[in-house]
Amino acid sequence: MNDVLSALIPPAVVAVVVIVAVVKLVRSEAAARRRADEPAEKSSEASSG
């Protein structure tokens, strides 16, 4: 049983690291897109109102 766990731990660690990296990348891209959209919305509201 110990040999099975020792064989499975490294791929599990790599999988967790990859998942965390993808989540951070997606969140940062979404935040950048949100920041890029805000000034356009504010300027269109100011010109129309």
The CA distance from 40 to 9, in Å, is: 48
In this prediction, residue 47 carries a pLDDT of 60
Buried b (16+ CB within 10 A) or exposed e, 3-36: eeeeeeeeeeeeeeeeeeeeeeeeeeeeeeeeee
Q: In 3-state terms, what secondary structure has residue 49?
A: coil
In this prediction, residue 45 carries a pLDDT of 60
In this prediction, residue 32 carries a pLDDT of 81
In this prediction, residue 36 carries a pLDDT of 76
Across the chain, how many H-helices and E-strands are there?
A: 1, 0
Q: Tell me the pLDDT of the chain (49 aa) as tens digits.
A: 999 999 999 999 999 999 999 999 999 988 888 877 776 556 556 666 5
How is residue 24 written in tokens? 């951070």
